[in-house]
Structure 1
Amino acid sequence: MVLLSLTASHHELDLDALERLSTGSLSVGRTVVGSCRPVQGTVVISTCNRFELYLDVDAPLDGDTVRHATRHVAELVAESSGVTPEAAAASFTVRSGTEVAEHLFAVASGLDSMVVGEREIAGQVKRALAESRADGTTSKTLELLFQTASRTSKRIGRSTALGGAGRSLVAVGLDLAGRSMRPYPLSRAVIIGTGAYAGAAVAALRARGCNDIRVYSQSGRAQSFAASHGTGAVGVDTESLVEALGDTDLVVSCSGARRRAPGPTAEVVPGAEASLAYVLDAASVARARDRAAARAGDEPEPDALVILDLALHRDVEPSVADVEGVLLYDLASLTTHAPATERVVVDQARAMVRDAAALFEETRMGRAADAAVVELLDEAEREVAVEVGDALARLSAELAPHGQVPTASDHDEIARSVRRRVHAALHDRIVAVRATALAEARAAEAAVVRGAERALRAVPVTD
């Protein structure tokens, strides 16, 4: 078995490239498991700043199976997202062994996020595993990996200052918005979307004293979300949203629900920017601002409308920033305002991640090491048997002149003494053999993955 991850995040790609890569990502996990027999399981994490596939590959150590599976996955990602196979392959970082666990544990703990220490990612990692279970694409190894990631995240949250910092993209955005609008207790907010970020936004707004919150969704879930979160529902069509924006101070958009536009633009090559319709475009926002100005009459100009676009697949058309009286912050701009985290806190959390990853990997690779230890123990038992036989022979020779023979008690006492001495001397050898077996297994797996990474750069595959 080889544990493999293909990851692309805001560290390696700009957000536009990451958005194109992750388009259609929800179906990739099912497709990979269904079409590539060696892949025993897969979990996909697709968030506002990352697209990652974790693969459990049943492969021999010659690496051919892993290389083929890796190339195949890159082609499937390319097909689903509308990018070329070469672009998909070039976008991924390939990890294996301890690197896989260490990376995932860091992600789940918020150490790899745009806002270091953000807590929403822990829930997204858990949901990725839950979705994999629902699709029937997980495996025992991936279950253990992701469950350990969640436990590590919780432990870091409890044990370090990172967990109490309250950092998140939502918090950064609301802090930034608060500088340009009325106090939150006097403000009205509209949330676009009904997912995890929407729920986090409601909680964060209420914590700041804002209770006039409404939700909009094209999915039809606005009413149920409003009922469960105690908010108002705007509606499900564009006009109802535009009407709501006329007396709104803040929009938090986090649906990621851009859709293929009807008409001629639907024929554009999949993945092209022009083929995706924004949830909120410049014309709609301008119309809402005009209505707000008309209602104000001779009164002072309405306050600025602040829009936070937290979706990777942008909900809000970038040209909305050009509408008079509107302040638009997207993921890239919010990242520049993220607070710095103390180095000592990050180092403490990363040390915990490394320890957890090493322990996980030792457990996962333990079968090879255990086999070597069992062989050593069998060898020790053979040594014990020989030494006990020799000791009994000497005792028999001593007792023979007296007409006596060793008793069962003599046999047991000699066996206990010999076994105690042999096993005491065996401890250091067990530690050394186990370490060597683990190192050899890791080296073999690393060699396989290096070959897989080279093959990934060589897509497309035709066999």
Structure 2
Amino acid sequence: MASHHDLDLSVLERLSADTHAVGREIVTGCDSVAGAVVLATCNRFELYLDVDDAADAESARAAVAATVAARSGYPAQRVAAALVPATGQRVVEHLFAVASGLESMVVGEREIAGQVRRALTAARRDGTTTSDLEGLFQAASRASRAVEHGTGLGAAGRSVVGVALDLVEDGLPVWSDVRCLLIGTGSYAGASLAALKARGCADVVVYSASGRAGQFAAQRGVTAATDDLAAALTGVDLVVACSGAAGAVLDVDALIRARSAEASIGARPLAVLDLALQHDVDPAVGELPGVRLVSLTTVADQAPDGHSATVAEARALVAATAAAFERTRRTRQWNPPVVAERRRVLEQLATAVDQLDERAARRLRREVRSALHGPTVRARAAAADGDAAAYASALADLAALAVPPAAAPAPAAAGSPR
């Protein structure tokens, strides 16, 4: 996993190149990896792998480094150093915190919950998910909802686009008079449009180099721009760019042409928000007179402090939820040998009671079930706690149980009171 906490956004941008191909290539190219979900957002790049055996974790990490290196152009050694490995409960707690907005650039933002869901959907589409990954990501979505409902974190509607709009608000007309060009038609463009409308900005024109602006605009009650980006830029006060296209969509030449067309009436101040990880806007745009450029780096520097009582409460809830998930997962994972031993004893019991009268059969059933109860409870409690030694001891006690084919009472479990 790699995020804005540890890496420059430019490095994350390179790591995130061709995201969905990475999951498929790792699963098909590495025998030890059964499944993969790739979570790539504007401030993180994370791969969640279902590895068949913990002993294969290092080979899986090497496969990830090689695959991401081939896509990003970075040496495999640099990729391996950038991606921090994690296993077990640490992975669970981290994903739950991510889905709850606790690891976001803007702590408490809600867009990440949808991005986590879409990452799982993409893995399903690519055929790279597994039952364990399904369970993990679905539990992360439930944890996110529990944090929002239990602490109110996220209710304030803080987001990357919200912070970016706050940064340029003072230089804009009142929101009802702002004319905005929205570049992009994806899910983040939809979230950005919702944020603009919530502030009262109704004059929004949508541009898409892919040709999807018409459908996007019609579904949301805004206007689609023509294919001429320079023409679409004329007369706007604000540009919000979040297409995620490979390479800059808005370059200096297009903006100069648009502002030259306004020269006769005086080009108005322009705020440009580049909210795409793979920059939609040429950074040189920020050097033009009268233009203020806000990027994700600016947002990261200006985002509100994530240290508060609410955030601390949310982190405690995430930790408790992750621990409960791990207890349930271990109990389920370690349960088959327990079930097998119980089935063996109960099959012996069924054979034995056929040879007994009703009263003796009732007594034998009661004694056998009592003998099974103690080690079964201990085995499952040890599994939940991850206590391998206690689990092995309880399982050995179950394995020692046997029902004789005669009318004798069942033996007590090893080490149990007589």
| TM-score (ref. length: structure 1) | 0.77
What's the secondary structure of 1:335's corresponding residue? helix
1:297-446 pair list within 5 angstroms: 301-341=266-306, 343-371=308-336, 373-374=338-339, 408-409=358-359, 412-413=362-363, 416=366, 418=367, 422=371, 429-430=378-379, 433-435=382-384, 437-438=386-387
Match of 1:178 among 156, 164, 169: 169
Measure how far apart 1:321 and its partner are.
1.1
What's the secondary structure of 1:147's corresponding residue? helix
Partner residue of 1:75?
Answer: 66
Give aligned pairs, total.
388
Q: What is the alpha-carbon distance in structure 2 between the residues aligned to residue 83 and residue 220 of structure 1? A: 32
2:253 paired with 1:249: no
Partner residue of 1:282?
Answer: 252
2:243 paired with 1:258: no
Q: What is the percent sequence identity of the aligned residues?
A: 47
Q: What is the alpha-carbon distance in structure 1 between the residues aligned to residue 47 and residue 324 of structure 2? A: 22
Which 4+ residue blocks in structure 1 deviate beyond 6 angstroms? 378-382
Aligned letter for 1:248? V
Measure how far apart 1:201 and its partner are.
1.3
Gaps (5+ residues) in structure 1? 1-6, 260-277, 390-405, 443-463
2:13 paired with 1:19: yes
Asked if the contact 1:107–1:121 (Cα under 8 Å) also holds between the matched residues in 2, the reply is: yes
Partner residue of 1:166?
Answer: 157
Partner residue of 1:118?
Answer: 109
Partner residue of 1:272?
Answer: none
Residue 364 and residue 441 in structure 1: after superposition, are their counterparts in 2 closer, same or farther (change >3 A)? farther
Residue 127 and residue 434 in structure 1: after superposition, are their counterparts in 2 closer, same or farther (change >3 A)? closer
Asked if the contact 1:126–1:150 (Cα under 8 Å) also holds between the matched residues in 2, the reply is: yes
Gaps (5+ residues) in structure 2? 392-418
Measure how far apart 1:97 and its partner are.
1.0
What's the secondary structure of 2:284's corresponding residue? helix
Aligned letter for 2:6? E
Partner residue of 1:48?
Answer: 42
Measure how far apart 1:353 and its partner are.
1.5
Asked if the contact 1:246–1:292 (Cα under 8 Å) also holds between the matched residues in 2, the reply is: yes
Asked if the contact 1:366–1:438 (Cα under 8 Å) also holds between the matched residues in 2, the reply is: no
Asked if the contact 1:216–1:234 (Cα under 8 Å) also holds between the matched residues in 2, the reply is: yes
| TM-score (ref. length: structure 2) | 0.85
Measure how far apart 1:376 and its partner are.
7.7
What's the secondary structure of 2:85's corresponding residue? strand
Q: What is the alpha-carbon distance in structure 2 between the residues aligned to residue 131 and residue 253 of structure 1? A: 23
Q: What is the alpha-carbon distance in structure 2 between the residues aligned to residue 164 and residue 103 of structure 1? A: 21
What's the secondary structure of 1:95's corresponding residue? coil
Q: What is the alpha-carbon distance in structure 2 between the residues aligned to residue 166 and residue 76 of structure 1? A: 37
Q: What is the alpha-carbon distance in structure 2 between the residues aligned to residue 411 and residue 132 of structure 1? A: 53
Aligned letter for 2:383? R
Asked if the contact 1:372–1:433 (Cα under 8 Å) also holds between the matched residues in 2, the reply is: no
RMSD: 2.9
Measure how far apart 1:287 and its partner are.
2.6
Measure how far apart 1:26 and its partner are.
2.5
Asked if the contact 2:241–2:274 (Cα under 8 Å) also holds between the matched residues in 1, the reply is: yes
Q: What is the alpha-carbon distance in structure 1 between the residues aligned to residue 281 and residue 221 of structure 2? A: 25
